[in-house]
């Protein structure tokens, strides 16, 4: 039966997801229908592969405190910097193709930062060569995972993250697997997880749902249905911690096993 609205009563507009305040995620399944939050703009959404700001917001609320130094070694459009500063954290961003003055030009494999200075590192690296970021020969987005060049370069970037991260502090790495016609499936997530594990203590794995806006465009849906492959439906968010180090009686340092179970919220 058709119901009629009483005269004078307007239909309430559905709240736009990008205007809603961010919220702390309680589970390991995150779903963000918009890239920005709170009616603001965090980072440059036009940058290829820009990160959903709420991914970074959630990490910083859990693992950092106001005043901590947050570093993004592949900062792109600067989402990490904007979110960190909104939350009262200090922020440093590097990229081979900087597009804003507060992102410094540097290769993530050799950062101009002293060891142990970062209180948190967030990185959303190229997912092998699925997007073109710049023509810089050092860009990891030019390297093919299938050809074996991508992983050694990522290992060098992970070594550098370990060097700059203070012992006991966390990092988040956001990545998706890749499927390309002619090359097939590349399990970037599992490959990078195992390399992270060699350097850091695992804390958690989050699945972030992707809103494939291209799905309804062109032939994407038909290609996936008829071509016998899947389009990527989620990103991995890997959370790790750099193991703390104790001073040895002889003055040297030895690694200490990471504290277990203490990775709950610490910031505001
Ligand atoms: C997925 S994008 C990062 C997106 C960013 N988090 C944002 O929200 O805009 C990956 C970035 O890695 C950068 N990049 C690729 N190779 C690099 C390298 N060797 N050193 C530093 N940055 C690099 C690219 O220029 C690109 O901006």
- CA-based end-to-end distance of the chain: 49
C-alpha count within 13 angstroms, C-beta hemisphere, residue 206: 23
The β-bridge relationship of strands 165-175 and 178-180 is: unpaired
Average pLDDT, the chain: 88
Q: Which of 32, 92, 140 to mutate to test the pocket of ligand 1 (most atoms within 8 A of CB)?
A: 140
Is the CB of residue 241 less than 8 Å from the CB of residue 203?
yes
Name the strand (E) or helix (H) holding 155.
Answer: helix 150-164
Residue 48 has pLDDT above 60, yes or no: yes
- Taking the C-alpha atoms of residue 158 and residue 193, their distance in angstroms, rounded to an integer, is 11
- Taking the C-alpha atoms of residue 21 and residue 265, their distance in angstroms, rounded to an integer, is 18
- Taking the C-alpha atoms of residue 162 and residue 113, their distance in angstroms, rounded to an integer, is 12
The response to whether residue 52 sits with its C-beta less than 6 Å from ligand 1 reads: no
Per residue in 18-33, pLDDT (tens digit) is 888 899 999 999 998 8
Burial category of 27 from C-beta neighbours within 10 Å (exposed 0-12, middle 13-18, buried 19 and up): exposed
- CATH code that applies to domain 27-253: 3.40.50.150
**How confident is the model at residue 18, as a pLDDT?**
87
Is the CB of residue 160 less than 8 Å from the CB of residue 111?
yes
Per residue in 160-209, pLDDT (tens digit) is 999 999 999 999 999 999 988 788 899 999 999 999 999 999 999 999 99
Closest CA to 50 of 78, 23, 17: 78
**How many angstroms does the Cα of residue 186 sit away from the middle of ligand 1?**
20
User: What is the number of the ligand 1 atom nearest to the C-alpha of 125?
Assistant: 10
**How confident is the model at residue 264, as a pLDDT?**
44
Closest CA to 95 of 116, 115, 112, 82: 112
The response to whether residue 140 sits with its C-beta less than 6 Å from ligand 1 reads: yes
Closest residue by CA, ligand 1 atom 5: 76
Could you give the C-alpha distances from 195 to 98, 203, 205, 208, in angstroms and in order? Answer: 27, 14, 14, 21
Per-residue pLDDT, averaged over 3-18, amounts to 73
What pTM was computed for the model? Answer: 0.88
- Taking the C-alpha atoms of residue 226 and residue 236, their distance in angstroms, rounded to an integer, is 26
């Amino acid at each position: 039966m058709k119901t009629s609205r009483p005269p004078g009563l307007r239909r309430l507009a559905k709240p736009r997801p990008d205007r809603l305040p961010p919220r702390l995620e309680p589970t390991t399944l995150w779903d963000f229908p918009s890239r920005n939050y709170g009616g603001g703009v965090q980072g440059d959404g036009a940058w290829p592969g820009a990160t959903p700001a709420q991914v970074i917001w959630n990490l910083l609320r859990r693992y950092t405190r106001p005043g901590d130094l947050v570093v993004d070694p592949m900062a792109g459009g600067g989402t990490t910097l904007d979110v960190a500063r909104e939350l009262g954290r200090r922020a440093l961003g590097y990229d081979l193709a900087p597009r804003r003055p507060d992102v410094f030009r540097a290769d993530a494999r050799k950062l101009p930062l002293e060891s142990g200075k970062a209180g948190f590192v967030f990185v959303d690296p190229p997912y092998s060569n699925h997007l073109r970021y710049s023509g810089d020969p050092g860009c990891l987005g030019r390297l093919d995972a299938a050809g074996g060049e991508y992983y050694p370069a990522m290992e060098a970037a992970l070594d550098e993250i370990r060097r700059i991260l203070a012992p006991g502090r966390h990092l988040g790495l956001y990545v998706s697997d890749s499927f390309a016609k002619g090359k097939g499936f590349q399990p970037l997530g599992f490959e990078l997880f195992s390399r992270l594990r060699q350097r850091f203590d695992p804390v958690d794995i989050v699945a972030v749902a992707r809103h494939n806006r291209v799905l309804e465009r062109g032939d994407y849906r038909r290609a996936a249905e008829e071509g016998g492959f899947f389009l990527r439906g989620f990103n991995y968010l890997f959370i790790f911690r750099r193991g703390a180090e104790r001073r040895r009686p002889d003055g040297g340092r030895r690694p200490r096993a990471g504290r277990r179970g203490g990775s709950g919220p610490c910031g505001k």
